[in-house]
Structure 1
């Protein structure tokens, strides 16, 4: 297990240079240096690393990793991730422990496809496990006669001449291999429908074709998942290369993500999450679902930008949440995953309100335990600005989302006090 250093988002930590040396050279994991998960500077003979907006366990070298935790207390990061629709980055081949609790999602195939494919490749190189199992179609008058079974099953029912033979053959069609094959087929179907140009698709198809000698599952998927769960926990120590791909198959077959907020014993790919992006998308979806019944629409200004100048031009504005009634824009909100908006943030929201144009706008920030949602003030030109809080540590996320939507409706109605 690598050494793990923990810090919070946007915090800085120092790492001795010798800890990053491999064969006398300074080397960092290439998957990290190109993604901007951490920034690095040299200071006083040490590497100063600063966490950015990403959280998760980030490998630096095979022997050292940084675990970045959210700066805001988040009760259920997995729930937010699923509801936001944001797909995290999976660091294939670098595992961390998760609690054995899961949250339903619709993109487990995209997240864990790489891990499953790499795992099945390794298994194929080493050879698929085999067991002595009863064949699907047993040949008559072949095998070992079971006298006791004959008495128990047939003689007790008045059948005198029925016989039972026990037949076993050495086969790769074990629960483990069948589950891998079925999960691979699910990945192929998902990529074919949602991401046909993905380079993983031909890899998955080639591996699936090479599993022709493994039987397909002809029962309910739930039965396969239940048996797979038992098999994973009793996996032979001689087959350690099976464990990670089987857990990936388990998640894919159930379309679930692990609970990300706590450490546990389930070893899975480390997921790197842009929490600010998740926060924004999560708020927008929760608000849109709750305002629809009141006749409002919530648009994403990042996908539908508005021109900054009336006569067009190259400049545009991108509010996180544009609240409309019909074709009329009522208000704009900007999600800021930080304790408080800065002065530059206020100017940014004012530019959104000018471009729409609307006289009502503001921010949504995580609750900090002290400050509450409040009216910020009215500008000289009559624009009203508010600061709404969302409690990411709420025990019941649905109740908190209802409270947030109620505050937005109060803002639209012109109220200056919030719950």
Structure 2
């Protein structure tokens, strides 16, 4: 056995275990193996029990916890966790909580991002933040899922539930619909006096609606389990609305159950008619609820159903990484004033089939950056513990290399939340393999930033002007040229445009006027500067005169840093596309 993180005495309601950790529980009763079975554990071998989570989009199962029964009288349990976090029933009267490597608050914000929500939204006039505890925890996830579930159902109600028309036939004296004359005459010939009726009935109990019903029932159970811990009136309101929607589905004849689980796994949004794509939000949330719910057990004492609820951190981190890639690429495109990135797209899990006619053989990297049919970079999300370098793990490294080979790209990256960032060069090909991770402690803002830096670094190789455009776009920075605004950056390489400096003296005056008159907090105008800004103007002119003014343009940027005000000059060489920054030049 590996190092034990904590030792507990049997009898507690909750046993905490760190992600990929191990705990030992002592003093267990002789009936412990029977209790594990009652809590839906599967016995894999003598004394070894597991609980697994089935993937929705494949036949794969993910192991959540493994329990090994030890001791002469089965009085000791060794509980080992994977990277699937959450609450899992250990026995009918106790549970194991698997705590993540990163803060619950970050996980919560990942979920908000994946489900396209944020903390500033309101639910029926009530800010989402009001529903949440001060110390963000797994319980808050239920609230977010429920709010998204209700929002998704509201869209469906506006557009209509999927229904099937079913033809019903019945012999009756008091029927409804149309009479089948031929069958009625046959009935009379056989001695049956009832006419034969045909009627069309609307049937709503299809797999899509049943999935929504299943998710609603699961959310209700989660709310009931936590109701004693939350007395916020808004919490009760959401519970009531979920309950109402479940009853609405039941009034339409929709039901659900574990016996339909295969239907839920197989159905996807693409199976629905195109005009029914408004199901997407409710569908996605229902799938998320279903994938995280490991089943139900009956508690001892009060006969109530208990739902295990877990989050697959590897899957969530991959989904969040895709959201960040898409968001940061959109931000980079927002300052691409030359339109170089119009055809660049982020692709999730692109399918690469190496053999013609054998579609069952394929490779799927987690993420790719593509320009048209060309792959610019391949990225794999790896939710690894600190110090676990995927580059040193042969299968992970080999997969990434195979993706690069098949997609003809030389930019490879592992996206990791907890590792030290590192850059490596492949000796044989010159390709670059990078560990993309925040330096220091993990935080979502810093992770978003390093993703932006990586994407920018990849794209700037073919679009070097992005270096100057990014400087202008950054917070507290300004395009520093009098009478020119950011929309004019579309002419950044135009030799007859505003960024040409054939008259260096006039150009420096435009820069100083914008800096002093518009952006500076230290002076009111350029006449408050030393020598009316003459020293800074000379520095600008000197740097302009070093360059050939007929093929070079200059994008001046005003910025604040460390309480000081500076001017940076970005020179764009039109012949080679190179960008060189000169500065910083101090305004005062």
1:271 to 286, 293, 309: 309
For residue 353 of structure 2, give the secondary structure of its aligned residue in structure 1.
strand
Of the structure 1 ranges 305-314 and 403-412, higher mean CA displacement relative to structure 2 is found in: 305-314
Which residue in the other structure is 1:76 paired with? 106
Which residue in the other structure is 1:183 paired with? 242
Alignment of 1:161-200 (within 5 A): 182-187=241-246, 198-199=256-257
Which residue in the other structure is 1:334 paired with? 380
Deviation at 1:404, TM superposition (A): 1.9
Deviation at 1:361, TM superposition (A): 0.9
Q: 1:280 to 1:390 in 2, by over 3 A?
A: farther
The answer to whether the 8 A contact 1:51-1:68 is kept is yes
Unaligned runs of 5+ in 1: 87-97, 123-174, 203-251, 253-267
Q: 1:297 to 1:17 in 2, by over 3 A?
A: farther
The yes-or-no answer on 1:41 pairing with 2:68 is: yes
2:363 to 312, 317, 326: 317
Q: 1:324 to 1:197 in 2, by over 3 A?
A: farther
Write the distance in 1 (CA, Å) between the matches of 2:307 and 2:439: 28
1:93-142 Cα offsets, whole Å, 9 max, x none, are xxxxx8366575563456972256559999xxxxxxxxxxxxxxxxxxxx
Write the distance in 1 (CA, Å) between the matches of 2:249 and 2:367: 30
The yes-or-no answer on 1:377 pairing with 2:418 is: no
Q: 1:391 to 1:75 in 2, by over 3 A?
A: farther
The answer to whether the 8 A contact 2:418-2:442 is kept is no
Q: 1:191 to 1:286 in 2, by over 3 A?
A: farther
The yes-or-no answer on 1:345 pairing with 2:396 is: yes
Which residue in the other structure is 1:406 paired with? 453
The answer to whether the 8 A contact 2:352-2:406 is kept is yes
Give me the TM-score of the superposition, normalised by structure 2: 0.40
Unaligned runs of 5+ in 2: 1-10, 42-49, 54-62, 117-131, 151-211, 226-233, 261-285, 287-305, 334-340, 463-588
The answer to whether the 8 A contact 2:436-2:454 is kept is yes
Deviation at 1:319, TM superposition (A): 0.6
Which residue in the other structure is 1:154 paired with? none
Write the distance in 2 (CA, Å) between the matches of 1:389 and 1:176: 37
Write the distance in 2 (CA, Å) between the matches of 1:20 and 1:27: 13
Which residue in the other structure is 1:232 paired with? none
For residue 367 of structure 1, give the secondary structure of its aligned residue in structure 2.
coil
The answer to whether the 8 A contact 1:20-1:27 is kept is no
Which residue in the other structure is 1:50 paired with? 80
For residue 60 of structure 1, give the secondary structure of its aligned residue in structure 2.
strand
Alignment of 1:107-186 (within 5 A): 107-108=148-149, 113-115=216-218, 117=220, 182-186=241-245
Q: 1:308 to 1:85 in 2, by over 3 A?
A: farther
Write the distance in 2 (CA, Å) between the matches of 1:381 and 1:114: 55
Give me the TM-score of the superposition, normalised by structure 1: 0.55
Write the distance in 1 (CA, Å) between the matches of 2:461 and 2:221: 56
Deviation at 1:15, TM superposition (A): 3.2
Q: CA RMSD in A?
A: 4.3
The yes-or-no answer on 1:365 pairing with 2:452 is: no
Write the distance in 2 (CA, Å) between the matches of 1:380 and 1:20: 61
The answer to whether the 8 A contact 2:38-2:92 is kept is no
The answer to whether the 8 A contact 1:41-1:47 is kept is yes
Which residue in the other structure is 1:208 paired with? none
Q: 1:361 to 1:343 in 2, by over 3 A?
A: same
1:7 to 4, 17, 42: 17
Deviation at 1:274, TM superposition (A): 0.7
Give 1 or 2 for the bigger CA radius of gyration: 2
Q: 1:28 to 1:38 in 2, by over 3 A?
A: farther
Q: 1:279 to 1:387 in 2, by over 3 A?
A: same
For residue 37 of structure 1, give the secondary structure of its aligned residue in structure 2.
strand
The yes-or-no answer on 1:282 pairing with 2:320 is: yes
2:346 to 274, 282, 298: 298
The answer to whether the 8 A contact 2:19-2:101 is kept is yes
The answer to whether the 8 A contact 1:362-1:385 is kept is yes
Write the distance in 2 (CA, Å) between the matches of 1:48 and 1:187: 40
Alignment of 1:221-236 (within 5 A): none
